[in-house]
A and B are shown apart, each in its own frame.
Chain A
Amino acid sequence: MGKKAILIDITKCVGCQQCAIACKEENNLPDIEETKLSATAYTVVEERGDHYVRRLCMHCNEPTCVSVCPVGAFDKTPEGAIIYNENKCIGCRYCMMACPFQVPRYEWNSTTPRVQKCRMCIERIQTGDIPACVQACETGASQFGDYYQMLQQAHQAIKNEPDKYVNHIYGEKEVGGTSVLYISDVPFEKLGFKTNLGTMPLPDLTWEALSKIPSVVLVGGTLLYGIWWITNRRKEVAEFERKIKEQEKESKED
C-alpha cells in the first residue's frame, strides 16, 4: 500500500456537487446542501467566477496539524491520509490556527466538540477501494491513485496541452507538497488559491525554535548556577573577611 493522491482537474469540473453528496453519505453527515467547508461538510465545490473549485483537506506531505497538536491527535497514514483521533483531542484548536489551507472545522455548538475534516476515506482506500467523492465524479475531474502516478499524470496533461493548462501543479511543492493536487487553465491565484505559502514545510519553522530548547536549558542552567556560585562566594568571602577583622579588633582590645 503506497502513498496515494487525489488529482483534481479544474477544467473538467462542472459543479454538479456529486462528490459533496457522496461524501456526506459515506460519512453519515446531515443531508443538507452546504457551500462552505464545515463540521458537516468535508468537501464542497465552490464557484469562483466561471470555474468550480472543489475544496477538501490537502493531506500535506509534512502536515502542520500533525506537528502542532500537543497531544498527537493527528496522524499521517502510510497512504498519505491525515486522520484525526477525537479521543485524544483536548480542543486547543492550534491545528485550525496553523493549517495554511484553513481546512479543519470545529463543532462550535457542542459541549464535546470535535475537529472535523476530510479523512480521504481511509477505511475504503485501505481495502483497495477509492474515496467516495472520486467514485462519484462523473466527469473525471477528480481522480485517485498512486501518488507518483497522479503527479506524472498531471505533468503529462500539462505537457500534452500546454496552451490549455497553466504550468503549475498546485500541491506539488506548496508547503512541501500535498496529497491533493490541482491542475487548472487559469492561474491559481485568480481562483482564490493561496499562492504565497512557499515550498518550505511549515513544521520546520517551529522546529527551528523547538530544537534549541536542550541547549537553552543546558547553557542557561549552567550559566545561572555559575553566576549564583560567584555571587554567593563573594558574599561568603566578604563575611569571612568581616569576621577576621572583628577577631583582630577583639584581640587588640584584649
Chain B
Amino acid sequence: MDAAPDYLDAKLAQARSGERSALTALVQAHQRSVYSLALRMLGTRDLAEDLTQDVFMHMSANLGAIASNTHLRFWLRRVTSNRAIDQLRHRSRLPMSSFEDQSELFSAEDPADPLLQRHLRALLAHLSPPARAVLLLRYQEDLDPMDIARTLDMPINTVKSHLKRSLQIMREEATRMPSEPCQDSST
C-alpha cells in the first residue's frame, strides 16, 4: 500500500476526473487494508465485506474531498474504524464469539501457529471496540500512537493505555497453560 505513493496520487487525480481504471487502481491498492481492518474489528466475513463495500462506495462518492493518497489512506482507516466501532456499539448481538469460527482472520503467509492464533482470538474478543481498533491500527497498519490518536480522535494517553493493556493481556494469554481454555470476557 505504501509502495508507490506518487503513482497513487496520480491515480487519485485521474479518478477524480472520472477515469475508471484509476479508481480501479485505488480500490485494488487499498482493499486489503480496509477489508482486514473490517474483518478483525467485526469478526465475520459477511459483516466485513458489507462494511468494506460501504466504505469504498462512500469513498467513490467523495473523491473530490480527498487531497492526496496519504489523505485517502488516513480517511479510509478512520471511516472503517469509526463505522466498525459504531456498528459494534449499536448491535445488541456483538459478534465477539464469531472470532472463534474465522480461520481467515490472521495472516497465512507464515506457517500457522494455532496457539498464537488462539491467543489473538481471545485478545480480540476481550477488547472493547475502540481498544480493538487501536490494536489493529498499531500492528496491522503499523501506525504510531500519535497517528492512531489522530485517526480515532482519541487522546494519546488513551491510545497508549489501550496498547499497554492489550500487550499485557496477550502476555497473560501466552503464559497460560496451552490446555487451559481461553476465557472470553468480552465487554
Decide whether A and B are members of one complex: no
Chain B residues proximal to chain A, CB less than 8 Å: none
Residues of A in contact with B (beta carbons under 8 Å apart): none
